[in-house]
Structure 1
Amino acid sequence: MENEAAPLPRVCVVVYILKEKSVLLGRRLSSIGHSTFALPGGHLEFGETFEECAAREVKEETGLDIEKIELLTVTNNLFLDQPKPSHYVTVFVRALLSDPQQLPQNLEPTKCDGWDWYEWGKLPNPLFWPLEKQVQSGFNPFPFD
């Protein structure tokens, strides 16, 4: 019997920050999904709500303050073809900028190549796999009003 424990699923919260008909995306520099475009977000910390995690991660990565954070959906993502296979339960939320005049900053340049706004119907390629899967399914983060 091996002494190594089986890997455990992790919880990640990612944020669709909505600005007019655009969302904020950054190009990943991490081992999983390297050079793909992804939403800001990160690991849920012990005791945090999804909303607290979303606000903290967005602030740490982009310097932006967000509000009106709403739960959208949850996905189950297995990355089995990676050097270190992983399993993520990904919580997707949407939010608005507290001040629409804020500009995103790249505060984690070793993890992201920069942030920019992309119109929902004209997203860049390649998208990070969980995001691409959502887009291909017809998912739309914008409210219907």
Structure 2
Amino acid sequence: MENRPKVGIGVIIIKGNKILLGKRKNTHGEGSWCYPGGHLEFGESWEECSRREVWEEVGIQIKNLRFGTITNDIFENEHKHYITISMISDYESGEVKLMEPDKFDKWEWFEWDKLPSPLFLPTINQLKEGFNPF
């Protein structure tokens, strides 16, 4: 088995002055808050992955997709290594739903300067770099 980093995509969805975060369960980073997202599939563009994952996880439409930042995320306890591409988008339409209750406890909107704790490692690394999607 090759031990190489995987590519994850996180989608920062902006609605007004807030972003959407989900509380993870039954996966690495359990109990932490993260953006909607997932694995980049073979042959998929970053934009296609972003739209697909947002639809699969929260059932809403997004617009104005653009590159946010990239982080090198090593989950030492779980022996996982990800390159995480964070895309920024604006909320377009739909009602946020818990589409994957096996993977998330809930979804909530948060102000960037009032983020919940604990945060998923890619977001922690973004904050260390001074990243701000606004």
Q: Tell me if both proteins adopt one fold, taking TM over 0.5 as the criterion.
A: yes
Q: Decide whether the 8 Å contact of 2:10 with 2:35 is kept in 1.
A: yes
2:23 aligned to which of 24, 27, 36: 27
- Aligned alpha-carbon RMSD (Å): 1.1
CA deviation map 1:11-41 (0-9, x unaligned): 1111000011100000000331110111000
Structure 2 matches for 1:1-145, cutoff 5 A?
Answer: 5-82=1-78, 85-99=79-93, 102-142=94-134
- Provide TM-score, normalisation by structure 1: 0.87
Larger radius of gyration: 1
Alpha-carbon deviation of 1:114?
1.0
Question: Which has the larger share of strand?
Answer: 2
Provide the rounded CA distance (Å) in 2 between the counterparts of 1:122 and 1:136: 16
The percentage of counterpart residues that share the same residue type is 43
Provide the rounded CA distance (Å) in 2 between the counterparts of 1:122 and 1:76: 24
Alpha-carbon deviation of 1:7?
1.8
Provide the rounded CA distance (Å) in 2 between the counterparts of 1:61 and 1:88: 20
Number of positions where the alignment pairs a residue of Structure 1 with one of Structure 2: 134
Alpha-carbon deviation of 1:9?
1.5
Counterpart AA for 2:81: H
* Gapped regions of structure 1 (runs ≥ 5): none
Secondary structure in 2 aligned to 1:98?
strand
* Gapped regions of structure 2 (runs ≥ 5): none
Alpha-carbon deviation of 1:75?
1.1
Provide the rounded CA distance (Å) in 1 between the counterparts of 2:102 and 2:49: 20
Provide the rounded CA distance (Å) in 1 between the counterparts of 2:91 and 2:17: 13
Provide the rounded CA distance (Å) in 1 between the counterparts of 2:116 and 2:124: 10
Provide the rounded CA distance (Å) in 2 between the counterparts of 1:132 and 1:80: 14
Counterpart AA for 2:45: T
